[in-house]
Amino acid sequence: MTATITIPCARCGEPRTVANQSPSKNARAALRICRSCAARALAEAPRPTGVSAAAAARHDRRLPAHLLASIAGQTWRNRAACATGDPERFAVNERDAEGVAEAKAVCGGCPVRAECLADALAIKDPNLIAGGLTGTERVELILRRKRRAQ
């Protein structure tokens, strides 16, 4: 079991629990904002015409706004089953079986699941259900692919 530490959100000050890592990674984590503040910031940020706040919020929250705006216009993202609704339902703790099942149910019938999974494998956000897989499942998939390639 990984040890955790509590760090306040850099924006609202609410405590949030993160994995205890090296001192440098803990310091970087202290500069980040909580998911609620990130979702609010993304919803308020200017975005290209035709891109919903939910679609923009699905992207890695650490990306600068100008990069977020450029990738938000990708056509496959607009066709995703999760393009509407609450983006927070895909940012669930893997131990929350009900939340994981709900997010995976949306991914299960998605017409762009393969594109989403490829994107999720590139971004490597462990706290996001994307492409129908949890962060742990995506890591396992990467390791299986590496073993097969050897």
- Do 69 and 2 share a structural domain? no
Q: Are residues 124 and 92 part of one domain?
A: yes
130 Cβ contact list (under 8 Å, min separation 6): 58, 90, 107, 116, 117, 119, 120, 123, 138
Share of the chain above pLDDT 90, in %: 0
The 3-class secondary structure across 24-93, one letter per residue, is: HHHHHHHHCCCHHHHHHHHHHCCCCCCCCHHHHHCCCCCCCHHHHHHHHCCHHHHCCCCCCCCHHHHCCC
Question: What is the per-residue pLDDT across 66-95, written as a single tens digit (0 to 9) for each?
Answer: 555 555 556 677 788 888 777 778 888 888
Same domain, 6 and 73: no
Name the region of 17 (left: φ>0; alpha: ψ -120 to 50; beta: rest). beta
Residue 80 near residue 116 (C-beta atoms within 8 A): yes
The residue type of 92 is: V
pLDDT tens digits along 87-107: 778 888 888 888 888 888 888
- Whether residues 112 and 132 fall in one domain: yes
Asked if residue 12 belongs to a known ligand binding site, the reply is no
Q: CA 130, 61, 134 angle in degrees (round to 5)? A: 25
Structure tokens at 70: 């450029």
Local structure of 139: helix, strand or coil: helix
Residue 34 marked in a binding site: no
* C-beta of residue 67 within 8 angstroms of C-beta of residue 61: no
- Was 82 annotated as part of a binding site? yes
Whether residues 13 and 65 fall in one domain: no
Give the lowest-confidence range in 30-34, 84-88, 140-144.
Answer: 30-34
Does the annotation list 116 as a binding residue?
yes
What are the beta bridge partners of residue 6? 17
| Total structural domains within the chain | 2
Total-model pTM: 0.50
Among 24-28, 44-48, 114-118, 132-136, which stretch is predicted with the lowest mean pLDDT?
Answer: 44-48
Domain coverage including residue 105 = 34-149
| Residue 147 in this model has a pLDDT that exceeds 70 | yes
